[in-house]
Structure 1
Amino acid sequence: MLLDLSNEPRDYDWGSTELLAQLTGRTPSGRPEAEVWFGDHPGDPATIPDGRSLDAWIADEGARFGVPDHLPYLLKLLAAASPLSIQVHPSKAQAEVGFEREESAGIPRDAAERTYRDANHKPELIVAVSETFRALAGLRELDATRRLVGRLGAGARELAERLSAPDAALDAVLEWVLSEDGRTAAPGLIAAASQGRSDEFAAELDLVRELDSAYPGDPGVIVALLMNLVTIPRGVGLFVPAGVLHAYLSGLGVELMAASDNVLRGGLTPKHIDVAELLAVLDPTPGPVALLHADEIGEGLARYAVPVGDFTLLVARVTAGSPVSVPIDGVGIALATVGEVSLEGGLQTSVVLRPGAAVLVTPDEGALRIEGDGEVFIALPGARPTVSR
């Protein structure tokens, strides 16, 4: 079965008023439109043509078509006009322990202070659909951060001293930044960084001014100063495994993640920050991050190879007269981002997709034939899907 999916954009403050409208060719609503979720996650399940939510359809009929009780992944369109919170996600083992601890403590799952809302991990992949997509990802190599902070003058002396020790540990520096002492020091540090000048780190210092405008005095601005600033070209991905600090800044992307809502925040947010748990989950190893290019696996078909079993992402780029065949191993979701394409399943069911439209592909279809002129992303389970809800 090919089952049309739709959803309303989520209106988070950081969302773009234009990017999703431009993608789909409609008039902007004038409201922030941040994310469109295509999946069965109970936080915002997609809708099918008869008005039921996807999770309800799966519960009612999914087994007849080989669909599992829950999808192991969540596919999204993400459109950021301003920075999201700095965050990190736990490993599967950490999530299981943390979820059980908070369940035993009787903390409501929707409580503001709740950290573990399920027992699953949340590795994620973002692929740029706009010409560029900006992000912060991982902690910058220590010598480079020392050079950057050294450009900031006397106002950043305490941070510079903490970074200058031969045995400086970035998790200890982060603990100070997010402590009461660090929060007190944050306005002075941000002012020093805002006034800083450096040819080597011009983009990073521009970002400090941008973040301070959006989150005045937030210690997360200083956390961002310790992170790698990454510009992702269109069609290229960034994979974020457990423990890696990250924040999306601006742009339109296709995001695919394990089905989880476990987030530990590290700044640029008014929401709860559990510093101790953040540091327990964090991988403080500094160094650059690698961008992920899709590997060609067939004519017009490529795969973003990620080291997790929950999901894999394919991209099909088709031109008139050159159809692409896509094997479907498990339940899939196809999402169009360019042009107009026709999808035909192995059971001879078919659907036409335009940018922003998505369809669930049930396992019994076996394969997809994609024709037309455009681009389609296809989410599928990985080798060993794991989901816990």
Structure 2
Amino acid sequence: MELLRNAVRPYAWGSRTTIPELQGREVPSPHPEAELWMGAHPGDPSLVIGADGVERSLLELIEADPEGQLGRDCAQRWENRLPFLLKILAVEEPLSMQAHPSAGQAREGYAREEAAGITRDAPNRNYPDPTAKPELVCALTEFHALAGFRDPHRTVELLRAVETPGLAKYTELLAAQPDSDGMRALFTTWITLPQATLDELLPEVLDACVLHVKDHGEFDTECRTILELGEAHPRDAGVLAALLLNRLILGAGEAIYLPAGNLHLYLHGTAVEILANSDNILRCGLTPKHVDVPELLRVVDFTCCDMPVLRGEAGDCGDVYTTDAPEFELVRCEWGAGDRGELRTHGGRPQILLCTAGAVSVRADDGRSVELARGQSMWLPASNPPVTLRPVGEGRAQLFRATSGSVHRR
């Protein structure tokens, strides 16, 4: 039951205000700050601040006592690894378009690349580890994303609304087979177009999107997104692929779950993200990094539907975002101004608590008590006794609780 000091990742797409403001540091920061990592990722593990002020790597603590830190079931299932990573995302500019593999795909791909002698830090490495990477993102502010393939009939309507001479044959390709197979065919065609063909088609599409926005067309938001991506990546097939995905705007507290194969792209906003502790990414485009098209096509799920938005289901200790991911579970605890209610968590699983508004008192059954201020986080090992959470002060308070998933999930 100790506070954490966490790593900030300074990716170029990050914000210079969001994370430093959350932590009470000087704003703006000298450079973009994109992610705040809380967990035991080997690349940037959190530091646990002991009662004596000494800081120790959470990764090292787990390696020294996996059952005490993780619990027997979690340690056995995940081979003495903390299976999840908790993050704050501060998205100022769009990320790359990407998908993640299933557990089986990750194991097979990792073994294949190991046998081929590709070093784990090589730029063309797809599978630096043998694990899946499902993730869930929960908005703290209005959060914009593209995720999952839109219903093909609706996509045909969009394509016809911005149709150009060069685009027409592709629109009819999907119109003739408006299902997941048709979507696969169109997506595959677009991301394998010769650059010369792409250089002719993309300007046509962008010009059509400009006209659609000027005319206040039905797909104004989608067209504005394509224009934003096209300006940043003027020769990239990922701009066309973005036409096929659901355009989402999440309100605070709303979340989306991204299982294996879900093609997605975060556009703008601040969110809490929980994901499996893995680095396996298959990129589609909108990035200078490695894009392996054949491997991407093996991983992407072309199922077409509206993307479900999760709002949390009432549980014993806050609103639970239920998924089928065995690696993690995320709970949001909320207190309105003047609310003095207590919430109680159970022990037995590793937990990270993150305060995102106000302040929260964390009191263990053995009498220990720690106050979490906004921007602070805490590690609760599985051996920690149950704790009681209550707001401090009269204002609004919010806390996220990240744990490993139930041992019964598959």
TM-score between the two structures when normalised by the length of structure 1: 0.93
1:47 paired to 2:51: no
Aligned to 2:12: 13
Residue 407 of structure 2: which of 372, 384, 387 is its match? 384
Query: By how many angstroms is 1:194 displaced?
Result: 2.3
Residue 385 of structure 1 deviates from its aligned partner by 8.2
Q: In the superposition, relative to structure 1, how do residues 385 and 212 fare at CA in structure 2: closer, same or farther (>3 Å)?
A: farther
- The RMSD of aligned alpha carbons is 2.0
Identify unmatched segments of 5+ residues in structure 1.
Answer: none
For residues 3 and 184 of structure 1, what CA distance do their matches in structure 2 show? 57
In the alignment, which of 283, 291, 305 is matched to residue 309 of structure 2? 291
Match of 1:59 in 2: 63
% identity of equivalent residues: 36
194-203 or 61-70: bigger deviation: 61-70
Counterparts of 1:5 and 1:385, CA distance in 2: 29
Aligned residues: 383
How far did 1:386 drift? 9.2
1:345 is displaced (CA, Å) by 2.1
Secondary structure of the structure 2 residue equivalent to 1:266: strand
Q: 1:159: which partner in 2?
A: 170
Q: Is the 8 A contact 2:6 2:36 kept in 1?
A: yes
Superposed counterparts of 1:1-389, under 5 Å: 2-28=1-27, 29-49=29-49, 50-65=54-69, 68=75, 69-130=80-141, 132-152=142-162, 153-166=164-177, 169-181=182-194, 183-196=195-208, 197=212, 199-298=217-316, 301-318=318-335, 320-373=339-392, 374-384=397-407
Q: Is the Cα contact below 8 Å between 1:189 and 1:222 reproduced in 2?
A: no
**Residues 343/282 of structure 1: CA separation in 2 closer, same or farther (3 Å cut):** same
8 Å CA contact 2:346, 2:387 repeated in 1: yes
SS at match of 1:218: coil
User: In 2, Cα distance between the equivalents of 1:81 and 1:385?
Assistant: 38
CA contact (8 A) 1:190 1:208 kept: no
- Judged with a 3 Å threshold, the aligned counterparts in structure 2 of structure 1 residues 116 and 122 are, in CA distance, closer, same or farther, namely same
The residue matched to 1:96 in structure 2 has which SS? helix
CA distance, structure 1, for counterparts of residue 70 and residue 136 of structure 2? 26
Aligned partners of 2:61 and 2:69 also within 8 Å: no
The answer to whether the Cα contact below 8 Å between 2:48 and 2:379 also exists between their aligned partners in 1 is no
Cα distance in 2 for residues equivalent to 1:380 and 1:316? 14
The worse-fitting range, judged by mean Cα deviation, of 339-348 and 75-84 is: 339-348
SS for the counterpart of 1:48 is strand
Q: Secondary structure at the match of 1:26?
A: coil
Alpha-carbon distance change, 385 to 44 in structure 1, aligned in 2, over 3 angstroms: farther
Higher mean Cα deviation, 362-371 or 226-235? 362-371
Letter in 1 for 2:57: S
Cα distance change, pair 176–140 in 1 and its aligned pair in 2 (3 A): same
